[in-house]
Structure 1
Amino acid sequence: MTLPHGYVIELDRHTRVLDDGRALLGGYPTRLLRLTPRARALLTGRTLRVRERAGAVLADRLLATGLAHPVVSALPPNDPKDTVTYVIPVRDRPDQLGRALASIRATTTDAPVIVVDDASHDPAPVAAVAARHHARVLPLADNLGPAGARNAGLREVTTPYVVFVDSDIVLAPDTVGVLLRHFADPAVVMAVPRISALPGPDSERWLGRYESARSSLDLGRHPAAVRTGTPVSWVPSACMLVRTDALIKADGFDAGMRVGEDVDLCWRLTGAGGRIRYEPAVQAAHEHRVELADWFRRKAVYGTGAHPLARRHPDNIAPAILAPWSAAMLVALLAQRRWSLPVAGGLAAVATVRNAQKLKGIAHPLPHAARFTALGSLASLTQGAALLTRHWWPLTAVGCLASRRVRRATAVAALTDVALETLGRGPELTRLDPVRYAVARRLDDLAYGSGVWLSALKGRSTAALRPRVVRAAARPRSPLPQARACPRGDARPRRTPAA
């Protein structure tokens, strides 16, 4: 399978062009990719348009390594007519269902829509709303949960693509049409939009404004290839467009999972070689929870998916992934001794020298290696802060009672976390002052961490709580010469699954 002629990609914003275009540095895990003269000629600035087989091979390689992303506006259109079926799992909530169906019908009047009634307590209003919007109702006698309900709908799909839409989603008119463009790449099996907050009175409340800025379903402003160990390692099932045959081949969602089934599906699909694209150029609006008790409970439920995911994907669920040097640096800093900063600095210096050796052959490797190490240090500190305030908070709370050093480390971690979040989220945080944002952030961590610990205790396993220390990633096979992987610990911060 090759990319079609006319397919356009653009280098990722973090990808650096070195030595007048002779090498590229970036991706996940970060790597140095040296380009032959023929490959250099295929790039026009930071873009590449596929015009021949060599261009298709290079574009495919850049997409696979995260060095570049498709330019969705330049991809060939794919008409959704007769190609897409919408599947909406629902249990009661007829008002939200009606709103979701209206947004779909505003986009298309003839696409099949299947409403899977997951054993509603009062099925009559659901059926009435579905009939009003010319949707087919598939009633289930027993409550199967979101995964089982989606699978039931999938078995009725006959079109090449299926869109799963939750009942509390409102689709923008261009969302599905734009997502379909990504399937010009035959390796793409799923594409998802950015999940934004549904405007309304509730979105102006305190928690509504927090969710608008830092929803668990919002994966950011930048396009991404969805893979484990990257900043976007999973995508939510609130709205996803999937290639039907690929999903059937993967046996659909895991019906045994009531939470985390979307994470599991993403990891199974990418593990089988499929590509998933996160496309924030289009959005789907979600009605976020804003009542404190309901919101806190839902965040905890997200955390309970940790142990089932750890059983199915033990290598992917770690709350932190660190290189040996960055793990040692964290331990040194947490010790808070006189020798802590010199040891941390020494470890960073050694990592810089090693990274510079990996960059031999390019001009001025040391500054690039130093930047590389700084990003790795930031990623490690971010993950260490998350361990203290989120995943390990019960242990942290006990430690704070007994140790001034633990209290000091926790305070620094909490403040640093809010500062980095504020910088990273930009204008979206202007609607909520830093104090209330910090309070909501810590409550978010308490809820999610509680769910993780509950699942770990129930499963009698600490797998979802243990960080992973990994050495440099193995060099992947490449159709292009001289591609080298650098230590995974030097990658930028990753998002935690189902967080």
Structure 2
Amino acid sequence: MPAVRRAFARPAVPPVVPLPAAPGAGELPVGARVRLANATRVLDGGAVLAGGTPSRVTRLREAATGRIRDRELAVADRASAALAGYLIDAGMADPEPASLPVVETGSLTVVIPAYRRSQPLERLLASIRNDLRDVRIIVVDDATPADEAEPLARAAADHGAELVRAERNAGPAAARNLGLARASTEFVLFIDTDAVLGPGAAQLLLRHFVDPKLGAAAPRIAALPRRDENWVLRYESARSSLDHGETGGLVRPLSPLSWVSSTCLLVRRAAVASGFEAGMRVGEDVDLVWRLHAAGWRVRYEPRAVVQHEHRRDVREWLERKFVYGTGADALATRHPGLVAPAVLAPWAVGGLVVLAAQRWWSLPVVGVLVAVTAARVSRSLPGIDRPRAEATRLTLTGFGWALTQGAALLLRHWWPIAVAAAGVSRRARLALVVAAVADAAWEYRRLRPTGGLLRFAIARRLDDLAYGAGVWVSAVRGRTTAPLLPLIRRRNR
């Protein structure tokens, strides 16, 4: 329980050290292709694109319209490279890695922070050597007790890895930085001992770095198959906090894909400078991603590269880890003001949620009026497209659907202490809580198709939210801040 005990102590929050600025131009090479994201819609015969993050509708210039064929754009000159760069930054398209040049693995160093657990380290090193035979590997022993340090050293030596021993246990961020300081290659792959490197994952991530503005890239973190599977493992295999799913894209604050884990993270050494904030034992990966974004670097999530992770199966350890994840909120709020909001909502969507929560006979009609008025306003702002009302209605309904999802998450995850207290005295609060819990579990179960049955999945889902939400509240009280609990009301639409 040391991690939980540390969570209740208020840590000193170090100042943010800015990272080196990204280059001004981020053009892909000739021959590269970008493919429109699944959520990007093509309208008016290819003249208009709708989608991206944040959501937008873009009318292309006439010269650009014919360049996108079968939802792909080939980079052939400066103009097409500029268009590809715009689509990437808008979240409307992503590079096709198969079209990008191969980056030699000789430009890569692998850094592994290790503390005890020599057998998982042995498994990880074997997976790296099976895929990257000659790459330099640095294992950083984060001051493992003497009686367990020898097996770590032996595992490193057996696989030709260099061993660096820290003088004191300072956490994984400091251990990674110690390895980073000894790397001399252009790229560094950080990977934890409870992971297994998938075949070709590092090479696939490396291809993306032909983009000169890419500062970091992360693979999908999938569950490592195990024979001793229980209901916790079945839930984590489907709904792990580390797994961002099958849809890739740019990682940026206040978006559906706002962070990636340092469980496995490939970085450009020049972009990350001295690396992680060593004083952070939780949330250091989120902090690094947000600092890269602030410096103008792109961060990419590539789900076609897969790394397996040994998820926790013990209920107590699992809940402790979820709780600890939540306790990083106050430090992130201090270091990155305005970026830790648990939801991002438009004012009209907030009004709709409040009206629905009132549970009156007039609630649904009023929501209908709000949607109609908003759709009318959106239609007037669309860039001269065919059938603007239909497109505006679709955008507005999609937006309110996201608002409902975020509203349920607030009730069940971030605001659950208040919601439970209100449910004790209010019938409407009880109904809202029950409806949100049932709808959330049913939707996620249908979307993820986990094994183990709906009831067990629903129980695990609620325990996940309770533990994480408790960590956020401890963090907010400890840091004397409400920032991790208050949604961001975004008034400007694009």
Same fold (TM over 0.5): yes
Please tell me the TM-score bracket, short chain as reference.
Answer: over 0.9
Partner of 1:50: 75
Which segment is superposed worse, 214-223 or 345-354? 345-354
Match of 1:283, SS state, is strand
Please list the CA deviations of residues 102-137 of structure 1 after superposition, one character each: whole Å capped at 9, or x if unmatched: 100111222110001001013111111111111111
CA shift at 1:338, angstroms? 2.0
Partner of 1:230: 255
Match of 2:404, SS state, is helix
Contact 2:221–2:309 under 8 Å retained in 1: yes
Query: Map of 1:365-376 to 2, 5 A cutoff?
Result: 365-376=388-399
CA shift at 1:355, angstroms? 1.1
Partner of 1:12: 37
Question: Of 78, 83, 99, which residue of structure 1 is paired with 2:107?
Answer: 83
Partner of 1:471: 491
Paired with 1:440 and 1:165, the residues of 2 have a C-alpha distance of 27
Q: Percent identity over the alignment? A: 50
Question: Of 358, 381, 389, which residue of structure 1 is paired with 2:404?
Answer: 381
After superposing on structure 2, the runs of 4+ consecutive aligned residues of structure 1 that deviate more than 4 Å are none
Aligned pair count reads: 467
Paired with 2:458 and 2:379, the residues of 1 have a C-alpha distance of 38
Partner of 1:127: 153
Please list the CA deviations of residues 151-191 of structure 1 after superposition, one character each: whole Å capped at 9, or x if unmatched: 11110000000000000000012000011110111111111
1:336 to 2:362 alignment: no
Paired with 1:319 and 1:29, the residues of 2 have a C-alpha distance of 16
Partner of 1:139: 165
Amino acid at match of 1:304: T
CA shift at 1:350, angstroms? 1.1
Using structure 1 for the length normalisation, give the TM-score: 0.92
Partner of 1:493: none
Please list the CA deviations of residues 281-305 of structure 1 after superposition, one character each: whole Å capped at 9, or x if unmatched: 1200000001100101000000001
Please list the CA deviations of residues 14-45 of structure 1 after superposition, one character each: whole Å capped at 9, or x if unmatched: 11111111111110111111111210121122
Match of 1:402, SS state, is coil
Match of 2:377, SS state, is helix
Query: Map of 1:335-354 to 2, 5 A cutoff?
Result: 335-354=358-377
Amino acid at match of 1:37: E
Paired with 1:360 and 1:41, the residues of 2 have a C-alpha distance of 18
CA shift at 1:231, angstroms? 1.5
Please list the CA deviations of residues 248-295 of structure 1 after superposition, one character each: whole Å capped at 9, or x if unmatched: 1xx411111110110111111011111111111120000000110010
Paired with 1:3 and 1:88, the residues of 2 have a C-alpha distance of 31
Query: Map of 1:246-285 to 2, 5 A cutoff?
Result: 246-248=271-273, 251-285=274-308
Partner of 2:216: 190
Amino acid at match of 1:54: A
Paired with 2:380 and 2:143, the residues of 1 have a C-alpha distance of 61
Paired with 1:69 and 1:303, the residues of 2 have a C-alpha distance of 31
CA shift at 1:468, angstroms? 1.2
Paired with 2:205 and 2:352, the residues of 1 have a C-alpha distance of 42
RMSD: 1.0
Amino acid at match of 1:20: G
Partner of 2:242: 217
Amino acid at match of 2:49: L
Match of 1:3, SS state, is coil
Amino acid at match of 1:433: G
CA shift at 1:229, angstroms? 2.1
Query: Map of 1:174-185 to 2, 5 A cutoff?
Result: 174-185=200-211
Please list the CA deviations of residues 437-465 of structure 1 after superposition, one character each: whole Å capped at 9, or x if unmatched: 00000000000001001111111211111
Using structure 2 for the length normalisation, give the TM-score: 0.93
Amino acid at match of 1:376: G
Paired with 1:292 and 1:119, the residues of 2 have a C-alpha distance of 27
Partner of 2:458: 438
Partner of 1:30: 55
Partner of 1:481: none
Partner of 2:121: 97
Paired with 1:423 and 1:31, the residues of 2 have a C-alpha distance of 29
Partner of 1:496: none
Amino acid at match of 1:192: A
Amino acid at match of 2:252: R
1:460 to 2:460 alignment: no
CA shift at 1:424, angstroms? 2.8
Contact 2:251–2:299 under 8 Å retained in 1: yes
Question: Of 228, 231, 243, which residue of structure 1 is paired with 2:268?
Answer: 243
Contact 2:333–2:340 under 8 Å retained in 1: yes
Partner of 1:403: 426
CA shift at 1:74, angstroms? 2.1
Partner of 2:140: 116
Which structure 1 segments of 5+ residues have no match?
A: 474-484, 486-499
Partner of 1:158: 184
Paired with 1:77 and 1:222, the residues of 2 have a C-alpha distance of 23
CA shift at 1:339, angstroms? 2.1
Amino acid at match of 2:185: T
Question: Of 44, 64, 68, which residue of structure 2 is paired with 1:39?
Answer: 64
Paired with 1:133 and 1:322, the residues of 2 have a C-alpha distance of 50
1:62 to 2:82 alignment: no
Contact 2:231–2:452 under 8 Å retained in 1: yes
Contact 2:59–2:383 under 8 Å retained in 1: no
Partner of 1:299: 322
